[in-house]
Structure 1
Amino acid sequence: MRRELGMSIALVVMCLGLYLSNPDFLGQSNSINTLRQISMLGIFGIGIGFVIITGGIDLSIGSVIGLTGVLIAKLSSSQVGGLGFSLWIGIPVALGVAMLIGLGQGLLITRLKLQPFIVTLGGMLLLRGVSQTIAEGGTLSLGGSPLLGLANGGLLKVGSDALVPYPFLIFVAVIGVATYALHFTVFGRYVYAIGGNRDAAEYSGINVKRVETSTYVISAGLGGVAGICYASYIGQMSQQVGVAYEMYAIAAAVLGGCSLRGGEGTVLGIIIGSAVMRVLDNGINMFQLPYEDADGIQRIWRLDPNWTFVIIGSVILVAVILDQIVHVVQERRRIRRASAGAAQAAPGLRAAAAIGAAEPPAVRATERENV
């Protein structure tokens, strides 16, 4: 919980700094939009968290999000290029395809023992190409589809904005199910055990292949859910939707305490990490500093939006470096404690050995006979 507490404090400080810089940061419209963005990132961030805790990685999650939206637009849109089917057909088909992708990747990793990085990297490029083929290199518009109300609608409307957007409600449901599955079930304990020591988990009787495959299905399935939300939010889909989303998800998980070595991480941490990433992304656009130039004219300095990936990439590197430092410190503490314990036990062992050596041979023989 120390890491979650530290990230929570950092999040509060970041929000406070952005508010002091630009009071519009906590304005109604920006706050609701930021909450919506945090929710959509958190949905698939939790999914990739399951994979990372087992010691794996999923680089295809962004392409799964894009493909889900493209399939929904292709199947359900009545615009040019759409097939005009009902959303009751388009959404289940898209979710089913997403979960099949996760199942296929999981089987390749567990049955053929391929590296998760290579399998999901290939999947990322392959799925993006499929999306481009379906969209024919262009965009597929959802037009006036009822799906558009999913992202823009919500509860407790004030003016034109809903204070509780529907993606947030979906996020809350995902949090509840994921928390129960990861922290209160045997399956969750198996996930941590595999990430902690795969060989030991297998020797203890855990079906490592099945559990690990399940995490990739969960990741892809939640990516499909996020894809539905993004399709309703954007309104038109192309192969560009979902590009680099996997980096945001990995960064959110790592910032929230998920170790890339596996065996560590919590749903709460991923929630906080998702909030940090989206607040950081929004803060790049909102941050401003007033100043007076040489001519005495009041001006406002803003961050260059072109720095977005520079800043986010730096955050990822810092998070990985801090994770490594934490593990090194913890390992050194364990070694020191083990050495101290051995040093304390040594006098007692030497005394016992001395007593045994001082006993007459006849006494030791009699004791052995009694035993």
Structure 2
Amino acid sequence: MSFLKVYSQVLAVFLLTVLTASAAFAVEATGEGIDRHQALNSALRLAVEMEIGTAIASDSIVESGVLVRDEIVSHSKGYVSSYKVISEGALPDGYTITVDAAVNRDLLLSDYTTVSILQKMSNSPRLLIFASSSEFNSIPPEAMKSLITDVAKVFGEKFQFEVIDWPVSRASFHSIEGQMNLDKAVKYNKLLKADYVLTVEIDMPKAANPVLNMSCVRISDRFKVGEVRRPVEKYVAPAGGDVKGAGKYGPAVEAAKPEVYWASVNIAGKMLEYMETELDRGKGFRYSVTFTGFPEVDSIGRNLEDIPGFVRKEVKRKNQKNIELVYWSTLRPSALLKKVEGTLKDIGVEKFKSKMDGRTMKFRWENPDGF
């Protein structure tokens, strides 16, 4: 199923549900647990699950063993704006509590839609994720390794993106020295093969709580797709004043981890918005594909229609050995390039050169000796 079809189906459910939605909706829910803390968490989770609604709660969107609605509910605290305890008390084997919880329906359904689409996406972008320190008060990248790993897990395991976690992967790229930055990502992208760069930064102003900043940039032209800034509200400064060494950053990094999920959903949503607007009138990505010096160019044109993701094509110019096409496909550029190269080999064309610049692809046949 194409990205746009998936987007349209999930968007239809989303729009149908939010037509009568308010920003926050009071839900009464009762939870039980071995203690008050567990009972309260259970009640808040139930409130969020109830607010997802019958239409979405009955959905069976499952990808890679992950149920989308369970993923949302597991992060329930972030969707509860406030709550009021109605009643509570001890049970023979635990505790019970009933709350009136104000659930942020707009955020809940927006995130549900984003996660649903991401779970279903094919040919997802390849992300290079690393820590940045652009501000004077930013935490150094070497102190951010555990946070980068958490971000990479959200995009990789939850959203099915192909992720390059730089702190983990850098040993595989010996020729890239020093701290990673956008300039290096662009310079070495033939080696990294990334579609987007995702930077993660924690700014620590002296008179305020730390701020988690995540920014996504398309690597081909440095276009900023989206940026999210989230205050780290639960940060508690180390006791006893300034702590020396890298240890002084630990509390801020740990406090920022609960913010990672929602910041990631926000960035991923902006990426989806951008990728959807790139689609040419709902007919796939528009490519310019040229074959130079090839015999049987008509056969090449026909075989291109069998590539997964093919939408349509138009012949712009053609003669006996050359053909230039306008080609629409739902595949991303790197995926389409590999498919075209494989198609040429399948029809017996072994010696050729290929070049890709954005969504312009050129293929040149290398004449075998004695042909």
Q: Structure 1 or 2: larger helix share? A: 1
TM-score, reference length from structure 2: 0.27
TM-score, reference length from structure 1: 0.27
Q: Structure 1 or 2: larger strand share? A: 2
